[in-house]
């Protein structure tokens, strides 16, 4: 199993290209099931989760080809994917595959919308709370699907196709909104999604669906209206930049000091997190090429942050912010409101010398003058990258074990950081 070795203490200088967003790529790939035509996606990141979803879609009969590199392409540049779901040969998504990645459960919606039936295993994914799918099932029922749960599988049927309906989510759910949106596109009649998630990845998927012929208005607001159409066609779409990767490297620079251009990053996708970083003492400027982040010797100021659905502070940057605050000059508070049990990084950060007190969903972080390297273990995607951030500022060597979590969501992390001067290397085996 690969490990990542980090020797901390060096500021970061240079530029980091930001990849396409994982959390848009996955639903975009799934949306390919809605049409017989080819969907071409540009700016697809090379991630373990993308490979896994490729396997899952192949199992349904989807044909995926990755275009080779063109002359002049940057080494490892994001890939172009041609996805063709001309013939769906199987409407079952088995446990062995779905249990490895929660987002793959979303295939339920396009399969039922197009084929009238689907059998999808209940999901797995990061171990961050119970993460139920009740709201996703509710959305499908509102669109007229008959749902049964049997042997760990959700079995959905809509013999005469889905019908438009009113879906009001009692809490904001990204996955629920994706499912409702994809299902509603091919339903007969009009659907209204209330209290919809407003995340930029929802807007990106809606933009692609609109190019495929869907009639959607209001994506990016809490009320999305979809007029169903009989069929969708192929299109070409470029995945938006990853705001979580952007925020993660921004926190890394705030942690180590230095000056880095996050190439291709868009500030409006993470304004709240950038504001928090400014409060913490980072200098941030938007340029045509991306976002520039710098911190001089002034030190890190403590902050008080509560996670919230977009446009609030993202839960997917909570662990990284906590890592940063371990070195703040004073006491910070972070409240996690989206997922219970998303503090698994706390005990590992403590191994590096962090002082964090947990009380339910609230974490109080007493900044310390120094962190020291230690062996640590990655427990989930975002938690593992928070350990990397802490390690970059720790004295001596940190070995991050179980890095397969990192590979699920961060493309070439060790390469991107080491090009900016960090001592980071992957040890295979």
Q: Could you say which of 45, 164, 175, 247 contacts ligand UD1 (CB under 6 A)?
A: 175
- 328 vs 385 by CB, closer to ligand UD1: 385
**For the packed helices 381-393 and 243-256, what is the interaxial angle rounded to 10 degrees?**
20
- 183 vs 373 by CB, closer to ligand UD1: 183
400 neighbors 358 (Cβ within 8 angstroms)? no
Q: What share of the chain is helix, strand, coil (3-state, %, to 5)?
A: 35, 30, 40
Query: Least distance to ligand UD1 from the beta carbon of 395, Å?
Result: 32
Site for ligand UD1 contains 57 (CB under 6 A): no
Closest CA to 411 of 10, 9, 16, 32: 16
Phi-psi bin for 34: left (phi > 0), alpha (psi -120 to 50), beta?
alpha
Sheet holding 283-287, edge to edge: 12-17, 258-263, 290-295, 283-287
384 neighbors 378 (Cβ within 8 angstroms)? yes
Scanning 10-18, 173-181, 226-234, 250-258 for contacts with ligand UD1 by CB under 6 A, the matching segment is 173-181
Contact mark string toward ligand UD1, 303..322, x via CB under 6 A: ------------xx------
Closest CA to 110 of 170, 53, 161: 161
Scanning 8-16, 127-135, 320-328, 420-428 for contacts with ligand UD1 by CB under 6 A, the matching segment is 127-135
Scanning 82-90, 130-138, 221-229, 393-401 for contacts with ligand UD1 by CB under 6 A, the matching segment is 130-138
Q: Could you say which of 90, 124, 163, 339 contacts ligand UD1 (CB under 6 A)?
A: 339
Residue 208: active-site member? no
Q: Which of 126, 185, 208, 420 is catalytic?
A: 126
Binding to ligand UD1, residues 15-54 (CB under 6 A): 23, 26
Query: What would you report as the CA-atom Rg of the chain, rounded to the nearest whole angstrom?
Result: 21
Site for ligand UD1 contains 135 (CB under 6 A): yes
Site for ligand UD1 contains 102 (CB under 6 A): yes
Q: Look at the block and give the residue holding tokens 């989760």.
A: 49
- 135 vs 250 by CB, closer to ligand UD1: 135
In 266-325, beta strands by DSSP E: 283-287, 290-295, 304-306
Q: Could you say which of 107, 174, 274, 324 contacts ligand UD1 (CB under 6 A)?
A: 174
Kindly list the distances between the CA atom of residue 287 and the CA atoms of 282, 291, 296, 364, in Å, as whole numbers in the listed order: 16, 6, 19, 35
- 316 vs 348 by CB, closer to ligand UD1: 316
Site for ligand UD1 contains 344 (CB under 6 A): no
Site for ligand UD1 contains 127 (CB under 6 A): no
Residue 394 tokens read as 């720790």
- Chain residues binding ligand UD1 by CB under 6 A are 23, 26, 102-103, 129, 131-136, 171, 173-176, 315-316, 338-339
Active site residues: 126
């Amino acid at each position: 199993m690969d490990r990542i070795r980090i020797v901390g203490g060096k500021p970061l200088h240079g530029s980091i290209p930001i990849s396409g967003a994982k959390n848009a790529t996955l639903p975009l790939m799934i949306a390919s099931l809605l049409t017989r035509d080819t969907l071409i996606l540009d700016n697809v990141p090379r991630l373990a989760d993308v490979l896994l979803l490729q396997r899952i879609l192949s199992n349904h009969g989807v044909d995926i080809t990755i275009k080779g590199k063109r002359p002049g392409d940057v080494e490892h540049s994001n890939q172009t994917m041609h996805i063709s779901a001309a013939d769906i040969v199987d409407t079952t998504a088995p446990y062995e595959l779905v249990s490895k990645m929660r987002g793959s459960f979303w295939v339920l919606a396009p399969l039922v919308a197009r084929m009238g039936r689907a059998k999808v295993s209940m999901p797995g994914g990061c171990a961050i709370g119970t993460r139920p799918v009740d709201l996703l099932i509710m959305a499908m029922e509102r669109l007229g699907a008959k749902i049964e749960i049997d042997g760990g599988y959700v079995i959905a049927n809509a013999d005469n196709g889905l019908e438009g309906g009113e879906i009001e989510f009692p809490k904001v759910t990204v996955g629920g909104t994706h499912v409702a949106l994809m299902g509603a596109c091919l339903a007969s009649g009009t659907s209204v999604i209330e209290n919809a998630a407003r995340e930029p990845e929802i807007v990106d998927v809606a933009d692609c669906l609109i190019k495929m012929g869907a009639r959607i208005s209001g994506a990016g607001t809490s009320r999305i209206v979809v007029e169903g159409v009989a069929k969708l066609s192929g299109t070409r779409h470029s995945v938006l930049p990853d705001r979580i990767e952007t925020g993660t490297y921004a926190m890394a620079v705030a942690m180590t000091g230095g000056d880095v251009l996050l190439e291709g990053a868009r500030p409006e996708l993470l304004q709240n997190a950038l504001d928090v970083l400014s409060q913490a003492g980072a200098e941030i400027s938007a340029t045509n090429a991306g976002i520039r982040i710098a911190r001089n010797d002034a030190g890190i100021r403590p902050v008080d942050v509560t996670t919230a659905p977009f446009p609030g502070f993202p839960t997917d940057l909570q662990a990284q912010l906590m890592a940063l605050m371990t070195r703040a000059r004073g006491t910070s508070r972070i409240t996690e409101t989206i997922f219970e049990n998303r503090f698994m990084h706390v005990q590992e950060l403590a191994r590096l010398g962090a002082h964090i007190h947990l009380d339910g969903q609230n974490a109080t972080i007493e900044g310390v003058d120094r962190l020291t390297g230690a062996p640590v273990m990655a427990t989930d995607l975002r938690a593992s990258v928070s350990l990397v951030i802490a390690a970059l500022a720790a004295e001596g060597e940190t070995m991050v074990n179980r890095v397969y979590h990192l590979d699920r969501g961060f493309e070439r992390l060790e390469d991107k950081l080491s090009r900016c001067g960090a001592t980071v290397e992957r040890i295979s085996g």
